[in-house]
A and B are shown apart, each in its own frame.
Chain A
Amino acid sequence: ETGVTQTPRHLVMGMTNKKSLKCEQHLGHNAMYWYKQSAKKPLELMFVYNFKEQTENNSVPSRFSPECPNSSHLFLHLHTLQPEDSALYLCASSGNRGGAKNIQYFGAGTRLSVL
């Protein structure tokens, strides 16, 4: 069983729907991340939380709303998405104590399709 679990694995939603992605880590880490992976594009960092506080927001549109209730759980709330938001959304966690040796542990991702 992976240390980082993402649900659902697949999601199809219309542009007017509201849905949420969930990420849970069992590694005792204090930092959690959301990434977007689109075809033919590098992995894009979206949000970073450290000890439940958001420390990075890479100019992500407001239709993506993150929530981190504790160091083990991370959500990404989605509403009024666009077809170009279709992608693989990856969650990761790290201990964030190793300085530059910030090894990230990833979940298997949620494959999102926006119709």
Chain B
Amino acid sequence: AQKITQTQPGMFVQEKEAVTLDCTYDTSDPSYGLFWYKQPSSGEMIFLIYQGSYDQQNATEGRYSLNFQKARKSANLVISASQLGDSAMYFCAMTVKSSGGSYIPTFGRGTSLIVHP
């Protein structure tokens, strides 16, 4: 079974500072994908960044980067130069191939990020 662990229920960061949100995962499948999603108070989940298990380099998307440490099974999200609009819930997720042939994500419990002015 797949498992995603986010150990930080809540995080605070000063505007313009960088922040790291932790995520560890567990799977015996060698092929998997790792994702981060942002959920503002409006409810919609927004895709931020993706890392494949065979990717050699850490993924980056603008101010978001994923610190992928395969041996430690961690996929931390780094947000640089935090903005007030970054305040939201952040979810780490992993996909592996299910018995039905589809790639199904498993989500962590999320981390609430609050950016202070």
Contact = CB atoms under 8 A, between A and B. Distances in A.
Interface residues of B, number: 31
Interface stretch (B14-22, B31-39, B63-71, B73-81): B31-39
A45 B104 contact: yes
A104 B4 CA distance: 17
A45 B100 CA distance: 14
Classify the interface of chain A: helix, strand, loop or mixed.
loop
Classify the interface of chain B: helix, strand, loop or mixed.
strand
A41 B35 CA distance: 18
Contact of A100 (B33, B91, B100, B109): B33
Interface stretch (A19-27, A60-68, A70-78, A106-114): A106-114
Nearest to B99: A56
Interface residues of A, number: 28
Given A100-B52, A100-B95, A90 B45 contact: yes
B52 A56 contact: no
